[in-house]
Amino acid sequence: MVLTRNLEKVLLQEKSRAEDVESEPPEIGAEDQPAPGDALDDNGSGGEEENFEETRSESLRDPPSGGADDAGSDGGEKENANDVRSQSLRDPPSGGGDDNGSNGGSQSLSDPDSSYSDEEEEEELEPMRPLRMYFLPTEYCKKMKLSTRCYLQDVFETFRDLRPALTDNEKNWFETHPQFKHIFHMPRDRNHKLQGIWTLLLRTACIEKEKEVWFVVNGVPIRYGLREHALISGLYSHNYPSGFAENTCGKMSFVEKYFKLGSTVRYQDLKPMLEKMKPSPKSNDRLRMLILYFLASIIKGQMKTGEKASSVDPFLLRAVGDMNLCRTFPWGRLSYDHMLKGISKTMTHFNGAVPGIEKQDQPWPIPGFILPLELLAFEAIPELGERFLEPFPSADEECPKMCKSMFKNCDMK
In angstroms, the CA 268 to CA 312 distance is 9
Select the highest-mean-pLDDT range: 137-151, 331-345, 385-399.
Answer: 331-345
User: pLDDT digits over 134-180, tens only?
Assistant: 999 999 988 888 777 778 888 999 999 999 999 999 999 999 999 99
Does residue 293 surpass a pLDDT of 50? Answer: yes
Mean pLDDT of the chain: 73
Select the highest-mean-pLDDT range: 188-202, 256-270, 295-309.
Answer: 256-270
List of residues 6+ apart from 265 with CB closer than 8 A:
255, 259, 311, 312, 317
User: pLDDT digits over 57-114, tens only?
Assistant: 333 334 334 443 443 444 444 444 444 343 334 343 333 334 444 443 333 333 444 4
Looking at residue 44, its pLDDT comes to 43
Looking at residue 128, its pLDDT comes to 56
In angstroms, the CA 215 to CA 219 distance is 9
Band (pLDDT 50/70/90 cuts) for residue 303 is low
Mean pLDDT on 52-61: 39
Does residue 203 surpass a pLDDT of 70? Answer: yes
Does residue 402 surpass a pLDDT of 70? Answer: yes
What are the sequence ranges of the domains in the chain? 84-245+330-407
Looking at residue 404, its pLDDT comes to 84
Does residue 373 surpass a pLDDT of 80? Answer: yes
What percent of the chain has pLDDT above 90?
A: 34
CA-nearest of 372, 383, 381 to 405 is: 372
Looking at residue 16, its pLDDT comes to 55
Mean pLDDT on 207-211: 82
Select the highest-mean-pLDDT range: 293-297, 368-372, 381-385.
Answer: 293-297
Does residue 24 surpass a pLDDT of 50? Answer: no
Band (pLDDT 50/70/90 cuts) for residue 31 is very low
Mean pLDDT on 352-370: 82
Band (pLDDT 50/70/90 cuts) for residue 133 is very high
Mean pLDDT on 21-43: 43
Band (pLDDT 50/70/90 cuts) for residue 260 is confident
Looking at residue 263, its pLDDT comes to 81
Distance from chain centroid for Cα 305: 29
Band (pLDDT 50/70/90 cuts) for residue 411 is low
Looking at residue 96, its pLDDT comes to 38
Looking at residue 385, its pLDDT comes to 79
Looking at residue 3, its pLDDT comes to 38
